Structure 1
Amino acid sequence: MDISLFYFADDASGDDRGRYDLLLDGARFADEAGLTAVWTPERHFHRFGGLYSNSAITGAAVASVTKRIGVRAGSVVLPLHDPIRVAEEWSMVDNLSDGRAAVAFASGWHAVDFLLHPDPTRAYADRRALLAEHVEVVRALWAGNSITRTDGSGGTSTVRIFPTPVQPELPFWITSSGNPETFRTAGRLGGNLLTHVLGQRPAVLARNIGVYRDALRAAHGPDARGHVTLMLHTYLGTSDDQVLEEVREPFSRYLASSLDLTTRSGPTTEGIDEVSEADAEALVRRAFDRYSRESGLFGSLATAHRAVSAFAEAGVDEIACLVDFGVDRKSVLRGMDHLGELVADLR
């Protein structure tokens, strides 16, 4: 099992200085402790995840303070962007990191994000088809191929990207929140898979991974297996009770912020006022109880080993540990020492 770091902060502190200290300190630690990668997402227009509006920029920052660890986007919302620009940006990150870049691509889920697109309604409606189409464009450009487009004069120009990437082929993932069709798409495209357990109980996760690997083998041969990365909220300590006491308040606030985002994720916010404060608090309590039992990596090193074994049985190859959910920075870094012990044990 590979162990990585994943960032998706709720920027609720109000502090306008040092917002990326935990990202960079964690990246330095992960690089030295033998972790596999550092993942940063793309999010827009909300404090939940809003520190990370451009994963190529945070990826370049991570590349500048590390020497060996993978630098990964988790994820680029590809239908929002021109795929030529995405290929250019990540080729720069690949050069800055000397060939350590990788990208997870996502179709997008929040309608508000699509105001960034020149034709937002169409792009949002067609986002899954655009994802598959744009992935192929990025991969072709990365491999050194050219693409022809209409230019500013009304004529056509054929272009390729510069700088040329260090890696001859871009390692890529497809992100799925639990829709089996997206798992199937990832397999068909020959990509790796990035997922989470927000909407998937362990049995559903295992079944969806089976869907992914069946599609992968059907499209790319019987030996194709791919690589499944699972994002898990993570905090390790000396005992389960100590960890739960430390994370209960900050993680509950984090879940509340997530609830506010997800209830406003569609094309309309009609009915949002029907979710009362008491209902929201009850949802957060239930979510915390479930996460602490089966959907996070919370507790002692022994508890972490049991969780890792269970997810390995489900077909997971890598756990991307989301660490920036509101616990103070010093405590998070202290908890990373236990994460380093876990990595050492798994070698």
Structure 2
Amino acid sequence: MEIGVTTFVETTPDVQTGEVISHAQRIREVVEEIVLADQVGLDVFGVGEHHRKDFAASAPAVVLAAAASRTKRIRLTSAVTVLSSDDPVRVFQDFATLDGISNGRAEIMAGRGSFIESFPLFGYDLNDYEELFEEKLELLLELCKSEKVTWKGKHRAAIDHLGIYPRPVQDPLPVWIGSGGNTQSVIRAGTLGLPLVLAIIGGRPVQFAPLVELYKRAAAKAGHDVSKLPVASHSHGFIGEDTEEAADTFFPSTQHVMNVIGRERGWGRYDRSSYDAARSFEGALYVGDPETVAQKIIHLRKEVGITRFMLHVPLGTMPHHEVMKAIELLGTEVAPRVREEVAKWEAG
């Protein structure tokens, strides 16, 4: 069972002071968070791509590369790369470079993107949303498979037996599919035999179990060894020494972000009752002391079949020292509990 962290490198206003941290400072803080995650024994750190004022990481591979030479073991992934509006050749080259710097620890998490700011920015039509992702994923997988590529599509210039460099340390470079629970994307990942990441940020996580089964059936039908296909989850959360204190600390920034995005997407108002329901044992918020969070992750493993859990922290702007403490507790207190319990359960 792998345990890690994801971040969107958010720069929303501090709910207590109204201060907005600079993009540069937040990026430097995230590099420190990755270094700490490596030191406390976490398995993976993911940085998400966005192209708007309240997120600082439009280039995840660059942020991850800054941490690569300062870390030794932790895997470094995008979370996600918005492949539909990017050039697969450049994505491959960026992450192959990261793979070289980290000596084989890079991963690409490819997604269609729930935020759409990158489409007009790079000149893509949202009417081509599905077609763009399918075509560009096809090309990315070809680049991972072969040093020299011949390829032709609709939305990008053809490639005629050209070499793509540098080549990564890992052969092939790992590509995961990120999904918010879309049935089509789950089936696609299974059919292609690619690892799956589910964004479980609402409702009851156990409701994702049928999607995992659908993914495995699609993989088996396509002839892939299901036992070798990992399934990950990404969920919001925060860890403190005391559950109620952790809940009170994480709520203000969470409420702010959920209401900002909610207004953009037509969601209802997010209040404390919504938050408290989500942090219950069956909810999708992983907030509390180490034992509380560990037991929820173990439950997710047993009921849904998740083999990698990534805690998204912070949600909105929080003091850097609080985020660092949560990462420390995840690595030193939560991860050992989860690994020990999962090993016992699987052994017997």
2:74 alignment partner AA:
I
Partner in structure 1 of residue 334 of structure 2: 342
Query: What SS does the aligned partner of 2:256 have?
Result: helix
Query: What SS does the aligned partner of 2:222 have?
Result: helix
Partner in structure 2 of residue 164 of structure 1: 167
Partner in structure 2 of residue 272 of structure 1: none
Counterpart CA distance in 2 for 1:100 and 1:126 is: 33
Structure 2: gaps (5+ residues)? 14-19, 341-348
Give the count of matched residue pairs: 323
Query: What SS does the aligned partner of 1:220 have?
Result: coil
1:299 alignment partner AA:
G
Identify if the C-alpha distance between structure 1 residues 239 and 133 changes in structure 2 by more than 3 Å, giving closer, same or farther. Answer: same
Identify if the C-alpha distance between structure 1 residues 261 and 113 changes in structure 2 by more than 3 Å, giving closer, same or farther. Answer: farther
Residue 36 of structure 1 pairs with residue 27 of structure 2: no
Residue 290 of structure 1 pairs with residue 277 of structure 2: yes
Cα deviation code 1:193-214 (max 9, x no counterpart): 1112234522321111111111
1:290 alignment partner AA:
A
Partner in structure 2 of residue 323 of structure 1: 313
CA contact (8 A) 1:91 1:142 kept: no
CA contact (8 A) 2:202 2:278 kept: no
Partner in structure 1 of residue 16 of structure 2: none
Alignment TM-score, normalising by the size of structure 1: 0.85
2:308 alignment partner AA:
E
* Matched ranges for 1:1-347 at <5 A: 1-13=1-13, 14-16=20-22, 17-47=24-54, 50-118=55-123, 120-121=124-125, 124-148=126-150, 158-221=161-224, 223-263=226-266, 280=269, 283-293=270-280, 294-313=283-302, 314-325=304-315, 326-340=317-331, 341-345=333-337, 346-347=339-340
Cα deviation code 1:101-134 (max 9, x no counterpart): 101111223444211343x22xx23333332332
Cα deviation code 1:11-33 (max 9, x no counterpart): 12422252123312211111111
Q: CA deviation at 1:257?
A: 2.8
Give me the identity figure in percent. 24
Cα deviation code 1:234-286 (max 9, x no counterpart): 211222111112112222122223324434xxxxxxxxxxx8xxx63xx3445
Counterpart CA distance in 1 for 2:203 and 2:59 is: 27
CA contact (8 A) 1:141 1:160 kept: no
Partner in structure 2 of residue 267 of structure 1: none
Counterpart CA distance in 2 for 1:33 and 1:177 is: 29
Counterpart CA distance in 2 for 1:87 and 1:331 is: 34
CA contact (8 A) 1:301 1:342 kept: yes
Alignment RMSD: 2.3
Counterpart CA distance in 2 for 1:287 and 1:96 is: 43
CA contact (8 A) 1:232 1:322 kept: yes
Query: What SS does the aligned partner of 2:25 have?
Result: coil
Structure 1: gaps (5+ residues)? 264-274
Q: Indicate the larger mover: 176-185 or 106-115.
A: 106-115
CA contact (8 A) 2:216 2:226 kept: no
Cα deviation code 1:32-62 (max 9, x no counterpart): 1111111001111241xx2111121112122
1:143 alignment partner AA:
K
CA contact (8 A) 1:88 1:161 kept: yes
1:250 alignment partner AA:
S
Identify if the C-alpha distance between structure 1 residues 182 and 199 changes in structure 2 by more than 3 Å, giving closer, same or farther. Answer: farther
1:114 alignment partner AA:
F
CA contact (8 A) 1:236 1:299 kept: yes
Q: Indicate the larger mover: 133-142 or 209-218.
A: 133-142
Counterpart CA distance in 1 for 2:49 and 2:263 is: 18
